[in-house]
């Protein structure tokens, strides 16, 4: 068992899991640092929850090894792993009061009555459930149940806290509130958090690192800005948010980056072109493009015509078609969008060289 | 359940034959029994007064309650174990458990009672076997007493006790059990502190059904009790068919029905009917 109050460091080595002929997880290796907030992100069936269940000890991997603080825990049963876990739907004990739910892991550990009372009291205070101690879970709101689940999972100071889509049942405003609260709990406890979600904005907002899964494979791990700005492939690029894809021809290395032809104009990219030569796909986020009346020769730019706009409040999403028929979406200030639409004729789309990147898989 | 008016009328139509049958075959004749209890042999509350003073009737009532309580504990405990295997066991275990639960329904209560006589009597299988291995020298009295009645009744009632328990265990959220284990609780502790309390409604339902059934048992105690362990249903039979004491028999019947009705009302305060199947 890990020492209480100490964040755990986890190492997954070549973890695989098959359910019959279905390959749920394939050759996954991942280091989770002490005190890290790691999000496992992916669509349903991508293997992220399977990996979480393997970390918890509820699912036995078909192959590979799992280490916690350097100790092999691959075959250690869940009840001896001492990982705190918050389930989807919370999985509170319906026959126990808030207090009894939170005291459960301490009772299991045979703590003294006075210690249990003190730590449960602290935890109740910390998650803001004072006055609700004697209530049953069914008498609480969704957000309050969520807090009980967090308190119950953290009260015994586990080395790692595992969270399986904990906010999926909450409405949007409550969700934002709980996210902030979880960030605070992470800072206060210093415990390693491993968080599963399929919501990319949640993943980017909360984590110190994001691990993106698809079809049982770990595609990329990195800081939120890394995976957002420099996705390893098209799936990651598209899963993390809207993105424009433009074909570029004749890609070759150039001064501090690469250069190529996009819609018959020379464009520059800051990313390395070692692996990519010839035809490729240039990807640019909508918010990184701007509308300009014209583009100078040494500026990245293509001509396009605005076709439709969607008002989003803070900004407007503008849909355009390039001369060669590619569809592009940009996010621009509302008045810029209105002007571009009213002009009817072509405008220029420009972007800084460091914002465009080549997809190594050629966009396939 | 919500439905359109025609849906509800359709349901009412489908239920009507059963309801009509119950009224004609049970409710109406029972009103006759109620009438006897107040009129035979003379009009008045005489028979109910006799119930309160007759020591034989009282001892049979107490024995019936005692046997029903013991049978309930035995049946629900055994049924709980079988149901855990049926609902949560491996596929092979599930099939075996299902077999054990369903087969008894195909064998008549009479056959089963005589089967137990063959097993439990002085020269029955169990005594012969125990004597042959030298475990006992004199046969044990296993039948024609309360013990035999309890064995036979429990055997009959276990399958009935299974269904409310199965319903409760099936509706239990698997993640709650995982949560308990994840929080460090052993399988044993999880079973006693989480699984059992969460199936409470099933245990209540199962116990009530078994208890109510036990109160009205006739054939099994008559055969396995051998006249030495008379229960209330047998007493009613004796009063009505073997002595001219119809009024007392009728009064005992009424008390039994009222008692069972009260128990059922109590049951449905804690458990919804659909939790029992």
- CB count within 10 Å of CB B152 equals 28
ipTM of the complex: 0.78
Nearest CA in chain B to A94: B198
Q: Which residues pair with A211 in a beta bridge?
A: A40, A221
Cis peptide before B41 (omega within 30 of 0): yes
Nearest CA in chain B to A107: B185
Q: Are B125 and B260 in the same domain?
A: yes
Higher pLDDT, B76 or A298: B76
CA atoms in the 13 A half-sphere facing the CB of A112: 3
> A39: which DSSP letter?
E
> B34: domain range?
1-39
- pLDDT tens-digit series, residues B190-229: 999 999 999 998 999 999 999 999 998 988 898 998 878 8
> What is the pLDDT at residue A364?
47
Q: Does the beta carbon of A170 lie under 8 angstroms from any beta carbon of chain B?
A: no
> What is the pLDDT at residue A230?
85
Residues of A in contact with B197 (CB under 8 A): 95
Is A87–B178 a contact, with Cβ atoms under 8 angstroms apart? Answer: yes
Q: Are B86 and B181 in the same domain?
A: yes
CA nearest neighbour of A329 among A315, A344, A319: A319
Distance from the Cα of B199 to chain A's closest Cα (Å) equals: 10
Say how far apart CA A239 and CA A236 lie, in whole Å.
5
Q: Are B124 and B28 in the same domain?
A: no
Q: Does the beta carbon of A267 lie under 8 angstroms from any beta carbon of chain B?
A: no
Q: Is the dihedral of CA A229, A232, A235, A236 positive or negative?
A: negative
Residues of B in contact with A81 (CB under 8 A): 182
> What is the pLDDT at residue A338?
81
Q: How many residues does chain B have?
A: 277
Say how far apart CA A172 and CA A26 lie, in whole Å.
34
Confidence of residue B179 (pLDDT cuts 50, 70, 90): very high
Is B178–A153 a contact, with Cβ atoms under 8 angstroms apart? Answer: no
The answer to whether the CB of A74 falls within 8 A of the CB of A66 is: yes
Task: Give the three-state DSSP class for B247.
Answer: helix
Q: Are B76 and B171 in the same domain?
A: yes
- Burial grade of A329 (CB within 10 A; 0-12, 13-18, 19 or more): middle
Q: Are B82 and B8 in the same domain?
A: no
> What is the pLDDT at residue A4?
44
Distance from the Cα of A9 to chain B's closest Cα (Å) equals: 18
The answer to whether the CB of A354 falls within 8 A of the CB of A284 is: no
- CB count within 10 Å of CB A337 equals 24
The CA distances from residue B209 to A200, B44, B198, B206, in Å, are 52, 34, 19, 5
Say how far apart CA B132 and CA B123 lie, in whole Å.
12
Higher pLDDT, B139 or A223: A223
Q: Does the beta carbon of A251 lie under 8 angstroms from any beta carbon of chain B?
A: no
Residues of A in contact with B186 (CB under 8 A): 79, 108
- CB count within 10 Å of CB A158 equals 28
Say how far apart CA A324 and CA A262 lie, in whole Å.
10
Q: Which residues pair with B268 in a beta bridge?
A: none
The CA distances from residue A165 to A199, A202, A245, B105, B177, in Å, are 9, 10, 31, 46, 18
Say how far apart CA A287 and CA A337 lie, in whole Å.
13
State the alpha helices, DSSP H only, in A199-309.
200-206, 224-229, 234-239
> What is the pLDDT at residue A2?
39
Is B180–A80 a contact, with Cβ atoms under 8 angstroms apart? Answer: no
Distance from the Cα of B2 to chain A's closest Cα (Å) equals: 24
Residues of B in contact with A92 (CB under 8 A): 176, 179
CA nearest neighbour of A324 among A273, A261, A279, A278: A261
CATH number at residue B217: 1.10.3720.10
Spell out the per-residue pLDDT of chain A, length 364, in tens.
334 457 889 999 999 999 988 999 999 999 999 999 999 999 988 999 999 999 999 999 999 999 999 999 999 999 888 889 999 889 999 999 999 999 999 999 999 999 999 999 999 998 889 999 999 999 999 889 999 999 999 999 999 999 999 888 788 888 888 888 899 999 988 999 999 998 888 899 899 999 999 999 999 999 999 999 888 888 999 999 899 988 888 888 877 788 888 888 888 888 765 666 678 888 899 999 988 887 777 788 898 888 888 988 888 899 999 988 889 999 988 888 888 887 666 888 999 988 888 886 554 4
Q: Are B16 and B131 in the same domain?
A: no
CA nearest neighbour of A280 among A288, A292, A272: A272
For the segment B36-59, the average pLDDT, to the nearest whole number, is 87
Say how far apart CA A172 and CA A160 lie, in whole Å.
27
Q: Are B160 and B87 in the same domain?
A: yes
> A90: which DSSP letter?
B
The answer to whether the CB of A39 falls within 8 A of the CB of A199 is: no
Say how far apart CA A79 and CA A59 lie, in whole Å.
13
Q: Are B220 and B254 in the same domain?
A: yes
Who contacts A178 (Cβ-Cβ below 8 Å, separation ≥6)?
Answer: A143, A146, A166, A167, A170
Tell me how many domains chain B contains.
2
- Three-point CA angle A57, A62, A65, nearest 5°: 65
Q: Are B34 and B152 in the same domain?
A: no
The answer to whether the CB of A78 falls within 8 A of the CB of B182 is: yes
Q: Are B86 and B32 in the same domain?
A: no
Q: Which residues pair with A304 in a beta bridge?
A: A322, A347
Say how far apart CA B96 and CA A354 lie, in whole Å.
67
Q: What Rg, from alpha-carbon coordinates, does chain B have?
A: 23
Task: Give the three-state DSSP class for A291.
Answer: strand
> What is the pLDDT at residue A361?
55
- Burial grade of B107 (CB within 10 A; 0-12, 13-18, 19 or more): exposed
Q: What pTM did the predictor assign?
A: 0.80
**Ramachandran sector of residue A5 (left: φ over 0; alpha: ψ -120 to 50; beta: rest):** left
- pLDDT tens-digit series, residues B220-241: 898 998 878 889 999 998 888 8
> What is the pLDDT at residue B123?
87
Is A156–B184 a contact, with Cβ atoms under 8 angstroms apart? Answer: yes
Task: Give the three-state DSSP class for B270.
Answer: helix
Q: Are B28 and B69 in the same domain?
A: no
Q: Are B17 and B152 in the same domain?
A: no
Distance from the Cα of B8 to chain A's closest Cα (Å) equals: 31
Say how far apart CA A55 and CA A349 lie, in whole Å.
46
């Amino acid at each position: 068992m890990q020492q209480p109050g100490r964040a755990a460091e986890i190492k997954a080595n070549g973890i695989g899991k098959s359910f019959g002929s279905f390959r749920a997880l394939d050759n996954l290796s991942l280091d989770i640092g002490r005190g890290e907030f790691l999000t496992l992100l992916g669509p349903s069936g991508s293997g992220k929850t399977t990996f979480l269940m393997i970390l918890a000890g509820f699912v036995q991997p078909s192959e590979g090894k799992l280490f916690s603080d350097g100790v092999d825990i691959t075959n250690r049963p869940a009840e001896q792993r001492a990982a705190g876990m918050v389930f989807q739907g919370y999985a509170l004990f319906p026959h126990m009061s808030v207090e009894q739910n939170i005291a459960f892991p301490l009772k299991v550990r045979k703590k003294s009555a006075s210690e249990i009372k003190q730590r449960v009291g602290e935890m109740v205070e910390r998650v803001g459930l004072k006055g609700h101690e004697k209530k049953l879970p069914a008498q609480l709101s969704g957000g309050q149940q969520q807090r009980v689940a967090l308190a119950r999972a953290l009260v015994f100071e586990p080395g790692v806290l595992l969270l399986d889509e904990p906010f999926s049942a909450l409405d949007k405003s409550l969700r934002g509130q709980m996210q902030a609260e979880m960030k605070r709990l992470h800072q206060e406890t210093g415990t390693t958090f491993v968080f599963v979600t399929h919501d990319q904005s949640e993943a980017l907002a909360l984590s110190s690192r994001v691990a993106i899964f698809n079809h049982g494979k770990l595609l990329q791990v990195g800081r939120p800005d890394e995976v957002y700005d420099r996705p390893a492939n098209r799936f990651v690029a598209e899963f993390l948010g809207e993105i424009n894809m433009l074909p570029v021809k004749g890609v070759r290395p150039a001064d501090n980056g690469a250069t190529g032809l996009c819609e018959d104009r020379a464009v520059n990219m800051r990313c390395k072109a070692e692996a990519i030569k010839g035809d490729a796909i240039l990807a640019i986020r909508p918010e990184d493009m701007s509308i300009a009346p014209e583009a100078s020769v040494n500026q990245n730019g293509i001509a396009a015509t605005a076709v439709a706009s969607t008002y989003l409040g803070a900004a407007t999403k503008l849909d355009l078609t390039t001369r060669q028929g590619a569809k592009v979406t940009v996010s621009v200030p509302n008045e810029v969008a209105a002007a571009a639409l009213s002009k009817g004729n072509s405008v220029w789309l420009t972007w800084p060289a460091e914002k465009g990147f080549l997809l190594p898989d050629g966009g396939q | 359940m919500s439905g359109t008016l025609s849906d509800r009328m359709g349901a009412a139509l489908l239920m009507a034959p059963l309801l009509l049958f119950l009224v004609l075959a049970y409710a109406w004749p029972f009103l006759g029994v109620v009438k006897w209890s107040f009129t035979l042999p003379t009009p008045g509350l005489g028979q109910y007064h006799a119930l309160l003073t007759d020591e034989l009737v009282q001892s049979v009532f107490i024995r019936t309650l005692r046997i029903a309580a013991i049978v309930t504990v035995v049946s629900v405990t055994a049924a709980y174990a079988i149901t855990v295997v049926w609902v949560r066991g491996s596929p092979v275990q599930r099939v075996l458990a299902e077999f054990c639960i369903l087969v008894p329904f195909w064998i008549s209560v009479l056959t089963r009672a005589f089967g137990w006589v063959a097993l439990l009597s002085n020269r029955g299988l169990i005594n012969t076997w125990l004597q042959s291995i030298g475990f006992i020298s004199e046969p044990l009295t296993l039948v024609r007493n309360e013990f035999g009645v309890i064995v036979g009744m429990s055997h009959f009632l276990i399958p009935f006790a299974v269904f409310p328990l199965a319903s409760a265990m099936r509706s239990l959220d698997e993640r709650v059990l995982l949560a308990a284990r994840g929080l460090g609780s052993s399988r044993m502790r999880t079973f006693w502190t989480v699984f059992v309390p969460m199936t409470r409604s099933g245990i209540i339902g199962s116990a009530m059904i078994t208890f109510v059934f036990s109160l009205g048992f006739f054939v099994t105690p008559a055969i396995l009790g051998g006249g030495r362990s008379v229960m209330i249903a047998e007493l009613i039979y004796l009063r009505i068919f073997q002595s001219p004491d119809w009024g007392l028999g009728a009064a005992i019947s009424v008390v039994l029905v009222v008692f069972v009705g009260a128990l059922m009302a109590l049951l449905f305060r804690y458990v919804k009917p659909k939790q029992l199947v």
